[in-house]
Structure 1
Amino acid sequence: MSRTSPFADLPPCGGDARQGRGGCLPQRHDLSEQDLQRVETVTRPTTDFSKAEQFEAMSGGATTTIAPIDEKVFQQFSANLPFEDEQNFKLGKALFEKLWVSAPSSTQASDGLGPLYNARACESCHLRDGRGRPPEAGDATSTVFRLARPPHDEAERRMVADHEVLNLPDPAYGAQLQDSAVPGLAAEGRLKVSYTEEQVTLSRGETVSLRKPEYAVADLGYGRMDPTTTLSPRVTPPMIGLGLVEMIHEADILAQADPEDRDGDGISGRAALVRDRDSGKIALGRFGWKAQNPTIRQQAADAFAIDIGISTPAANRSHGDCTKAQNACLSLPTGVQARLGPVEAPDPVLGLVTFYSANLAVPARRKAGFPQTLQGKQLFYEAGCPACHLPKYVTRRDAPHKELAFQLIWPYSDFLLHDMGEGLADGQQVGVASGREWRTPPLWGLGLTKTVSGHTFLLHDGRARNFTEAILWHGGEAEMARSAFVAMSRDDRLALLSFLESL
């Protein structure tokens, strides 16, 4: 396959192009010139912090849910979803919550689990479609260890460079550590985490304690790992707004990329280029902690295959993440049934789960116009946070589902890869993302983490116990924003935290 990126040869300035932070980029062809001007005006960063912006409380545009704020608020469908599509949403929800069982089973519609797995249902990790938590009291259901090693030879290096693979799995344990197995088979191991406390001094002598994690694997069931294999813990992110993210035009994300830091602001976000397995083409990665997947469908298919061990038309891996070194795993029966086709979850299972995931609504903002929220918003801007946490976009007018089309949305992310410093580095390359780079996570729904998920753990591995700790772990390209937060007065920090709480 070609190694050429569709974004490698950007057009010269002028003509059918516009200026981005890192150079000239393609125009949006889904908009008329008049609409393009409207979009550029409405998405321009505000300079007026005396009142809430127009439509600011509607984080997901017309899709925004105004359902009661309770533990189920992330489980609502898009407010403008046509009535005839509600059935597919509910069917997708049922499949998302479905518990799979090992094969062979009398419940043939549900067998095929594993043989090695992390969870029996999507809902097990994405409880109430909310944020996962780090391992505690022996429960690691919503945290996984991603495993990868560097290329060992030129052929493997070329596979990564050509986007044929994101990275190389551990020879014995595969791409992810599975801590559960079907009866009669040994699990791969257990996640272990321990913390040491480190003190950080803020302005006027106030101190905050950060917990620094150390990770290990206990009870390895299949021998030693490759000595070069890296462990990357990942908690499950919230599910809201995914369909809107998929409908952000590529040009609007690429306009924020500045890999060479041409504007000299210290922020050099990079686009994650990955292989879209459905089309075979190089595409813009948007989903996952390192933006490793270009579409919700591909993200869901990988979760079915790796997390649960269920094959789908988009990832035909009926033995899940079993490796050639795990003969006992590969010898076990699968849930494939000839009458239903070559995979354990044939169409329309993946399509319905994808539809459900794409239409989980973002809740409306709270207190967007309150004085302390507006003060915190101004401090957020002055600290430089929007350089990565870009507030707003207008989705594609030509979106295939009309409820997601031409919506003003407020995700607070540029969806690019950024070097976040050594403190947050996992040392694991994923596609073009280095061991220090992470995709900017969207902030919408952030203040509802406690309500929905029952905790306030943040960041890719849940090490931060609150907003303050999450900000203080920022480094690398975010060091200047972190320093601005450290230098704030206590009242200003509280105002900024109030703004984050309102999202």
Structure 2
Amino acid sequence: MRSILSLAVCILTLAPAATHGDEPAQVLTSLASREAYSQPIRPLSSQENLQFQLGRGLVRQSWIISPAEDRDIAGLGPLYNRNSCIACHAKNGRGFAPDGPEESMRAMLVRLSVPGKAPEGGPQPHPLYGDQLQEFGAPGVEAEGRAHVRYEESEISLNGGERVRLRKPTITFSNLAYGPLPDDLQTSARIAPAIYGMGLLEAIADSTLLALESQPKSGNIKGRLNRVWNMEQQRHVIGRFGWKANVATLREQTASAMAGDMGLSSHLFPHGNCAEGQTACQQAPVSGTPEITETQLEQMEFYQLALAVPSPRHQDDSRVQRGAALFRQAQCAACHLPEVRTSEFPRLAALGNQSIAPYTDLLLHDMGPELADNRPDFSATGSEWRTPPLWGIGLAKQVEPNAGFLHDGRARTILEAIMWHGGEAQESRNMVQQMSPLDRQLLLDFVDSL
């Protein structure tokens, strides 16, 4: 931690500190390189800039197994999937799925649960494996096992003769250390989502989301909010983060990932990720109680709150404008909402009262049986998913060449992702399939411009 602090102080010394004053907030960045997802909003005060730099250091930190001399970065495990946040969120971007069963799940994880609900209403963890499979263990603690992804390939034809290959994943397990898994096990493979723009999504008022839920929809499109358990408030609230909008706040999302992916305990998740029956895991050394301090958690939260969103590109291009019209015509904008307004946001005032274009309504939509994981999560059913934001998506491959799309990374391109849409989005998917090759490319050019 001392090295991170020194780095931040050095940066503050070399660069002039931003001041609030009357300078308008800039929540977008025009950068379109591999660093496009790593830029701070402007302006930040000297103190906010320091918090941002400290948070960035922690997000990029490689954590180590206890016991260790440097207790500030110790606490990894005893069971874990990766040793840093950026191991999955490279450059703050999205993860990807393995190409086959022999590849490691480098930026992907597998959720586990059994039928029924936990006391707070969420998924019921498996008694021996918990709610997530852990591929690695500290010395003396057996890793839980390995997950493998196999694909069933199919091909569809689009109007004009283009053919698109789709791959549907199936998850299998090997080297299970804590006993066999039951036949009724519920699983869900998830790639890491991008983490920029999260502060702006948190700054959307609950009242705005309730209005979006209640407003009339067109055709088969419905949309509803997930109601989830808030660890800090100890009550059910609106969910907005996670693939199923199953987490209420960015702070809880961060603490949950630290516990689930790296075994690092915090005041929100004081027991890390040891399941009930994992004695060696529970008895392994710890570096502190908790291992992530409230200050560290606040710094990581602030870093994500203050990450800017890439500006849309080529908006004056007639092709992009025609693509935007086709996007609306195909009813994509009914869920991928192009305009929302944030409310007052004391945690970071610059995020408040902004008109933003996240291309999401943060609502759950039934996406049909082909995308269903059949794993309920609070009030979300096994076929419902939160509308993922599209802002900045055109730079996904620039930031991470392997970036995947959809919750399990099965889609390698935006077009593949569209062709997997079903349920409430079936009509939109059909319209894109039936477009002329030129119109379909214009729609894709528009999405790529975001």
After TM superposition, is the score higher than 0.5?
yes
Q: Distance in 2 between matches of 1:328 and 1:140?
A: 24
The percentage of aligned residue pairs carrying the same residue is 39
Q: Distance in 1 between matches of 2:345 and 2:291?
A: 33
Equivalent residue for 1:54?
Answer: none
Q: Distance in 2 between matches of 1:398 and 1:111?
A: 33
Equivalent residue for 1:255?
Answer: 211
Q: Bigger CA drift: 486-495 or 221-230?
A: 221-230
Q: Bigger CA drift: 212-221 or 396-405?
A: 396-405
Residue 256 to residue 61, structure 1, CA distance change in 2 (3 Å): farther
Equivalent residue for 2:449?
Answer: 502
Q: Distance in 2 between matches of 1:470 and 1:126?
A: 20
Equivalent residue for 1:440?
Answer: 387
Q: Which runs of 5+ in 2 are unaligned?
A: 1-23
1:474-493 to structure 2, matched below 5 A, reads 474-493=421-440
1:177-326 to structure 2, matched below 5 A, reads 177-258=133-214, 265-317=219-271, 320-326=272-278
RMSD value over aligned CA atoms?
A: 1.7
1:323-334 to structure 2, matched below 5 A, reads 323-334=275-286
Are 2:17 and 1:65 equivalent residues in the alignment? no
Q: Secondary structure at the match of 1:275?
A: strand
Residue 489 to residue 102, structure 1, CA distance change in 2 (3 Å): same
Decide whether the 8 Å contact of 1:113 with 1:335 is kept in 2: no
Which letter does structure 1 place at the counterpart of 2:86?
A: E
Q: Distance in 1 between matches of 2:47 and 2:404?
A: 38
Equivalent residue for 1:144?
Answer: 109
Are 2:52 and 1:100 equivalent residues in the alignment? no
Q: Distance in 2 between matches of 1:494 and 1:363?
A: 22
Residue 456 to residue 263, structure 1, CA distance change in 2 (3 Å): closer
Of 38, 42, 52, which residue of structure 2 is paired with 1:75? 38
Q: Distance in 2 between matches of 1:61 and 1:274?
A: 31
Which letter does structure 1 place at the counterpart of 2:110?
A: F
1:139 Cα offset (Å): 2.9
1:399 Cα offset (Å): 4.0
Aligned residues: 425
Q: Distance in 2 between matches of 1:357 and 1:452?
A: 17
Equivalent residue for 2:89?
Answer: 126
Of 385, 410, 432, which residue of structure 1 is paired with 2:357? 410
Equivalent residue for 2:49?
Answer: 86
Equivalent residue for 1:46?
Answer: none
Q: Secondary structure at the match of 1:150?
A: strand
Q: Secondary structure at the match of 2:153?
A: strand
Q: Bigger CA drift: 288-297 or 200-209?
A: 200-209
1:262 Cα offset (Å): 6.4
Calculate the TM-score normalised by the size of structure 1.
0.82
Q: Distance in 1 between matches of 2:226 and 2:263?
A: 26
Which letter does structure 2 place at the counterpart of 1:281?
A: R
Which letter does structure 2 place at the counterpart of 1:308?
A: M
Which letter does structure 2 place at the counterpart of 1:139?
A: S
Equivalent residue for 2:419?
Answer: 472
Q: Bigger CA drift: 280-289 or 398-407?
A: 398-407
Equivalent residue for 1:372?
Answer: 319
1:313 Cα offset (Å): 1.6
Q: Distance in 2 between matches of 1:343 and 1:477?
A: 43
Decide whether the 8 Å contact of 1:291 with 1:417 is kept in 2: yes
Q: Distance in 2 between matches of 1:80 and 1:266?
A: 43
Which letter does structure 2 place at the counterpart of 1:126?
A: H
Which letter does structure 2 place at the counterpart of 1:177?
A: L
Q: Distance in 2 between matches of 1:79 and 1:70?
A: 18
1:391-435 per-position Cα deviation (integer Å, ceiling 9, x unaligned): 111110354321111111100000001100011000101111111
1:349-372 per-position Cα deviation (integer Å, ceiling 9, x unaligned): 100000001111101111012111
Q: Bigger CA drift: 235-244 or 264-273?
A: 264-273
Decide whether the 8 Å contact of 1:63 with 1:81 is kept in 2: no
Equivalent residue for 1:135?
Answer: 98
Q: Which runs of 5+ in 1 are unaligned?
A: 1-59, 337-341
Which letter does structure 2 place at the counterpart of 1:148?
A: S
Are 2:294 and 1:347 equivalent residues in the alignment? yes
Which letter does structure 1 place at the counterpart of 2:229?
A: R
Decide whether the 8 Å contact of 2:41 with 2:306 is kept in 1: yes
Equivalent residue for 2:372?
Answer: 425
Equivalent residue for 1:397?
Answer: 344
